[in-house]
Amino acid sequence: MLRRTFGGAYMAKWMREAGVNAALSVPGYPYITANELAKLWERNDRFFQTTSVGKTMSTWFESPNLSPIHANLSAQYNTKSKAGWIGLPGYHAANDAGVVTTPKGRYVLAITSDADGKLSLLNSLVTTLNNIYKTI
């Protein structure tokens, strides 16, 4: 929908601003690392915090469909996240990424995996990563 509405050039610009290779903005299902996904969410978070449109849009990510980040952390913290999954020949992924706001501060959490159709497998990882964050 974003590509149809704004075009690929806008997405490429957003990716460059995030420090991510803009070649990943091509249509389809690009291969993206957890680090690249985290950089994109850092860019999203700046947008969410600094513009009125971003502040409105950020609320769209507070109650996402099937996000392990939301499912495991939203009772304790404000979370903004979006999971993604695909299970087709040649494409196997279950990913989740977002921003977690805690009393100590904010952090970006990005998980990429090949566990298509099994987002629940990410639940213990989300909890473990949050526990690590609490110790630093």
Consecutive H or E run containing 68: helix 68-73
The two structure tokens encoding residue 27: 């249509």
- Domains of the chain are 1-30 (no CATH), 33-135 (3.40.710.10)
Amino acid identity for residue 28 in this structure: G
pLDDT tens digits for 91-132?
A: 889 999 999 999 999 999 999 999 888 889 999 999 999 999
Kindly state the average pLDDT of the residues 2-10: 82
The two structure tokens encoding residue 74: 């939203």
Helix axes 8-18, 34-50, angle to 10 degrees: 100
pLDDT tens digits for 41-93?
A: 999 999 999 999 999 999 999 999 899 999 999 999 999 999 999 988 988 89
Q: Could you tell me which residue, 60 or 10, shows the higher pLDDT? A: 60
Asked whether the predicted pLDDT for residue 30 surpasses 80, the reply is no
Indicate yes or no: pTM above 0.85.
yes
Q: Could you tell me which residue, 3 or 91, shows the higher pLDDT? A: 91
- pLDDT band for position 37 (50/70/90)? very high
CB 80 within 8 A of CB 57: no
Amino acid 54: pLDDT? 94
Amino acid identity for residue 15 in this structure: M
* Least confident piece of the model among 19-23, 27-31, 122-126: 27-31
